[in-house]
Amino acid sequence: MAKHKPETKAIRIQTTKTAQKEHSTPLFLTSSFTYDSAEDMAAAFADDSLDVNIYSRFSNPSVDEFINKIAALEGAEDGVATGTGMAAVFATFMTFLSKGDHIISASAVFGSTHTILTKYLPKWGIEYSYFDMDKPEGIEALVRPTTRMLYVETPSNPGLNIIDIDFVSGLCKKHNILLVVDNCFATPAVQQPIQYGADLVLHSATKFIDGQGRVLGGVIVGRKELINPLYLFIRNAGPSMSPFNAWVLSKSLETLFIRMERHATSAMYIAQQLEEHDAISSVKYPFLATHPQYGIAKKQMTNGGGIVTFELKGGIDSGRKFLNALQMISMTNNLGDSRSIASHPASTTHSKLTEEERRAVGITPGLIRISVGLENVQDILDDILQALAKS
């Protein structure tokens, strides 16, 4: 398998076939596994490093297939899967941070990640500092002797801020800090952070990896020496991935590359078409030359991904009117679906924040986020244009 290209690995990596010689991998929907003898059972429990399945909180063939595929696509040695993307974030913090430690994070992170950093980690004596993704030169001044981890999302949700992974990994190596990258918006079909020096890469598999809005999941990949303690945390604490979800996600990976190509081609076209629109003050998309980190995006991503954002001149009221005027595009907070989705963070997901707090995470009053789906691109654009006319 090593010689094959990533697109092929996403399709061909498979759990060892059963005696039925099935073509598509079966679903291993079992909570536990059996042994041929008391001695085999004793050996399985005595040695954590034995490659045997004991209980599906620890490991399961359907989950292993999904992990093996993601690890291969990200260029990682090993990985672990979790029940949701947030379980992957939380397990990473719990495994590598202890009382008295310090974490540096981009301020533009997913809402629940922000809540864990600011509300939960301090309860356990773990301190955090935020930096502005548009000013990465400010990161080094935040490093303390107790800093253990640097955490970034690139591109960020929903602001589409981008950071130079190579640059931050240099800083992390200099100060002996773990670099963790949330690669959810790009997926390994578009960006492989390990190639630029990230230590751990995590995903909400709920988004583009599933790609059809069906199941929740998370995954973390990296070097074996980092995955082993993560595995032990997950095996004991229990935020494990369900075999059913793993089976769905593993099949989804077979179409990840062609889906991401189409998401990106359509997203680029829509971004270009909206750039000159009268109701819009600015459009943001990683592969538009006007994106503040366009050069970095071109260096570390193979396409701009499936998310476009734009700012309505009419602010918060126009945002509401725009959502209400949509005829096809779904109003929901998920993203990375075959169905196009629109959201207006200021009046929905981030409505409880003050306007100042929203600005700090890149959410302006008229910000609309479009997750460009796989429908005919003209149908998607037409719906956006008719809704803009009513906003």
Binding site for ligand PLP (CB under 6 A): 84-86, 110, 153, 157, 182, 184, 204, 206-207, 216, 218
> 10 Å Cβ neighbour count for 262?
17
Residue found by looking up tokens 């076939």 in the block: 17
Q: How far is the CB of 108 from ligand PLP (least distance, A)?
A: 10
DSSP string, 76-128: -SEEEEESSHHHHHHHHHHHH--TT-EEEEESS--HHHHHIIIIIGGGGT-EE
Question: Angle, to 10 degrees, between the axis of helix 243-253 and the axis of helix 61-74?
Answer: 40
State phi, psi for 220 to the nearest 5 degrees.
-130, 135
When the beta carbons of 95 and 318 are compared against ligand PLP, the nearer one is: 95
State phi, psi for 219 to the nearest 5 degrees.
-155, 145
Q: How far is the CB of 106 from ligand PLP (least distance, A)?
A: 11
When the beta carbons of 288 and 335 are compared against ligand PLP, the nearer one is: 335
Looking at beta carbons, which residue is closest to ligand PLP?
A: 85
Q: How far is the CB of 363 from ligand PLP (least distance, A)?
A: 14
SS3 299: helix
When the beta carbons of 81 and 288 are compared against ligand PLP, the nearer one is: 81
When the beta carbons of 126 and 202 are compared against ligand PLP, the nearer one is: 202
> 10 Å Cβ neighbour count for 195?
12
When the beta carbons of 85 and 366 are compared against ligand PLP, the nearer one is: 85
Question: Is beta strand 127-131 parallel, antiparallel or unpaired with respect to 102-106?
Answer: parallel
Q: How far is the CB of 174 from ligand PLP (least distance, A)?
A: 27
Q: How far is the CB of 185 from ligand PLP (least distance, A)?
A: 6
Q: How far is the CB of 216 from ligand PLP (least distance, A)?
A: 5
Q: How far is the CB of 295 from ligand PLP (least distance, A)?
A: 22
Q: How far is the CB of 87 from ligand PLP (least distance, A)?
A: 7
When the beta carbons of 44 and 70 are compared against ligand PLP, the nearer one is: 70
When the beta carbons of 87 and 288 are compared against ligand PLP, the nearer one is: 87
Q: Which of 391, 133, 104, 174 is nearest to 286 (CA)?
A: 133
When the beta carbons of 149 and 216 are compared against ligand PLP, the nearer one is: 216
When the beta carbons of 68 and 206 are compared against ligand PLP, the nearer one is: 206
Q: How far is the CB of 183 from ligand PLP (least distance, A)?
A: 9
In the numeric block, which tokens belong to residue 175? Answer: 């100060």
CA distance 238 to 72: 25
Contacts of residues 266-269 at CB distance under 8 Å and 24 or more positions apart, as own/partner, are 266/306, 266/372, 266/373, 266/374, 266/377, 266/380, 267/304, 267/305, 267/306, 267/307, 267/308, 267/370, 267/372, 268/303, 268/304, 269/377, 269/381
